[in-house]
Copies of this chain bind each other. A is one copy, B any other.
């Protein structure tokens, strides 16, 4: 991926350079950027994104359809053969669609086929907002829709994809509201202080029982992690486990414990529904109890 371009530079560029710089924001559709070049200068990323979204919605139906059809199938043959845009490849990889088993590929293909058979367009979803399981649920739900609702849904998803790409490629005073946050805070309520030096892990949980490590961290003097567990990007819709190694934490402090300790490792399973939300998951611990909640 090329370095991000300042918005002012885009505002000052020739119309062609502007269009070229943003050609990849909409899949195989440089015309979107070209359409809004004349509306410059844009005072913010938000106004640039709004203009591009409006240009798409105002385009003739055939053009909109071509934009939709320019998107590759999810986990499709083109993706497996490497014949998709670098943007799509990176996005699909983030959701794990590049490490499916043969059986899983087959499932995606069946869903793609069913979707195309009903709606005659590829299934489009902003994969960076999803985990593999939530993408599968999207297929199931959206297959229930009418064709009209799905055209609309496809354009909504394209708008979300564009927002994420814009946010990555263009720097400006504002940021598009595409990022969520996942954070934690461990309080030792036995001793009335932040739980410092405790190990924790965040895993994504699959419906098939799989678990994928997202991050390992150690709590600092304030019981928090140095940086949020997830930030600067959407928190993919899905199921997670945050696990705190409470047994080791108290052992390191020489706190009396049962043998084996009553609590050794505290898992908190939770689900994310709003990728742009703030999920703060505090943990209140003693050697004999724990509590958690959605905080703020």
A76 to B265, CA, bound (A): 33
Contact (Cβ within 8 A) B289 A189: yes
Contact (Cβ within 8 A) B287 A260: no
A21 → chain B, closest Cβ, in Å?
Answer: 38
**Given the contacts A271-B258, A271-B264, A288 and B294 also touching, CB distance less than 8 Å:** yes
A284 to B259, CA, bound (A): 23
Count chain B CB atoms within 10 A of each CB in A187, A189, A260, A287 and give the residue with the most: A189
Q: Please tell me which stretch of A40-48, A58-66, A190-198 contacts chain B, meaning at least 4 of its Cβ atoms lie within 8 angstroms of it.
A: A190-198
Contact (Cβ within 8 A) B296 A189: no
What are the residues of chain B within 8 A of A270 when measuring CB–CB? 262-263
Contact (Cβ within 8 A) B259 A273: yes
A237 to B258, CA, bound (A): 11
Contact of A232 with B by CB under 8 A? no
A51 to B111, CA, bound (A): 69
A90 to B274, CA, bound (A): 52
Contact (Cβ within 8 A) A193 B289: no
Contact (Cβ within 8 A) B273 A223: no
Contact of A222 with B by CB under 8 A? yes
A134, closest chain B residue (CB): B260
A294 to B258, CA, bound (A): 12
Q: What is the total number of copies of this protein in its complex?
A: 4
What are the residues of chain B within 8 A of A265 when measuring CB–CB? 269
Contact of A261 with B by CB under 8 A? yes
Contact (Cβ within 8 A) A274 B258: yes
Q: A residues 244-276 with Cβ under 8 Å of B?
A: 258-267, 269-271, 273-274
What are the residues of chain B within 8 A of A288 when measuring CB–CB? 189-192, 293-294
A76 → chain B, closest Cβ, in Å?
Answer: 26
A293 to B294, CA, bound (A): 16
Knowing that A193-B294, A265-B269, A289-B293 touch, tell me 15 more A-B residue pairs with CB under 8 angstroms.
A189-B294, A190-B286, A190-B288, A192-B289, A193-B296, A258-B273, A259-B273, A261-B271, A262-B270, A263-B269, A264-B269, A266-B269, A267-B267, A267-B269, A289-B291
A interface residues, Cβ below 8 angstroms from B = 134, 185, 187, 189-194, 222-223, 237, 239, 258-267, 269-271, 273-274, 284, 286-296
Q: Show 21 residue pairs from A and B whose CB-CB distance is below 8 angstroms, ordered by the A residue.
A: A134-B260, A187-B295, A189-B189, A189-B288, A190-B190, A190-B286, A191-B288, A192-B294, A194-B296, A223-B296, A258-B273, A260-B271, A260-B273, A262-B270, A263-B269, A265-B269, A267-B267, A267-B269, A284-B289, A286-B293, A289-B291
